[in-house]
Amino acid sequence: MNLSFFDQFMSPHLLGIPLILISLLFPALLLPSPRNRWITNRISALQSWFIYTITKQLMTPLNKKGHKWALILSSLMIFLLSINLLGLLPYTFTPTTQLSMNLALAFPLWLATLLTGLRNQPSASLGHLLPEGTPTPLIPALIMIETTSLLIRPLALGVRLTANLTAGHLLIQLISTATAVLFSIMPTISILTACVLLLLTILEVAVAMIQAYVFVLLLSLYLQENI
């Protein structure tokens, strides 16, 4: 029973072929195909408004140099949001519950922001490792602490996204299993548990959206420090 709760986080296979690539490409199928006109119906108008709102929210703290990252950050936001929400559907697999995938997204983008800062303003980027006015005896310790906090940023991004989604999926499965088991024994308790499950599902929808936004927002903040 305990092992079956974690089976949902195993990458599905068909004839020995991992299906995680198909699940990663599936969100692109939900986007309407391009037409001769920019806006052809209400869905396209809603999609354009949503992308504009996300891009504006992410690019507001950045200067004009950071606006070059608008396309990649907005695309990453929509990608994570689609995968997180699709993973809440029954009999689906959520790739963002895999720490390896989240680290593969977080590390290159974090490294790109770091290298951007070192190339454009190396003095300011290295100056973040030592706060101004630090007493001389504390300089070596603070440099080590700040360097460590800088290097664990991609790990924190990946672990945060993985842990929040994994915990939510486990809670949903535990409560849904309890609801099914208690239905024949204590129907009243089962109904109450089903209500809790409904509220938890709504909460998980919000968590899926918030975690996608937080992931991209932190990347934009790291970029802000280096431009």
Q: What is the pLDDT of residues 203-224, one digit of tens each?
A: 999 999 999 999 999 998 888 8
Mean pLDDT for the stretch of residues 107-131: 84
Q: What is the per-residue pLDDT across 21-58, written as a single tens digit (0 to 9) for each?
A: 666 676 666 666 666 666 667 777 777 788 888 888 88
Cα(first)–Cα(last) distance of the chain, in Å?
51
pLDDT mean across residues, the chain: 82
**Strand, coil or helix: what is 17?**
strand
Residue 217 to residue 97: CA distance in whole angstroms: 19
Query: How far is residue 70's CA from residue 212's CA, in Å, rounded to a whole number?
Result: 16
pLDDT of residue 202: 93
Strand, helix or coil for residue 50: helix
Element (H, E) at 125: helix 122-127
Rounded to whole angstroms, the Cα distance separating 217 from 161 reads 13
Quick check: 138 pLDDT over 60?
Answer: yes
More confident residue, 116 or 130: 116
**Burial tier of 97 (Cβ tally within 10 Å: 0-12, 13-18, 19+):** buried
Give whole-number Cα distances, 119 to 146, 162, 219, 225, 227, in Å.
20, 31, 18, 13, 10
pTM for this structure?
0.81
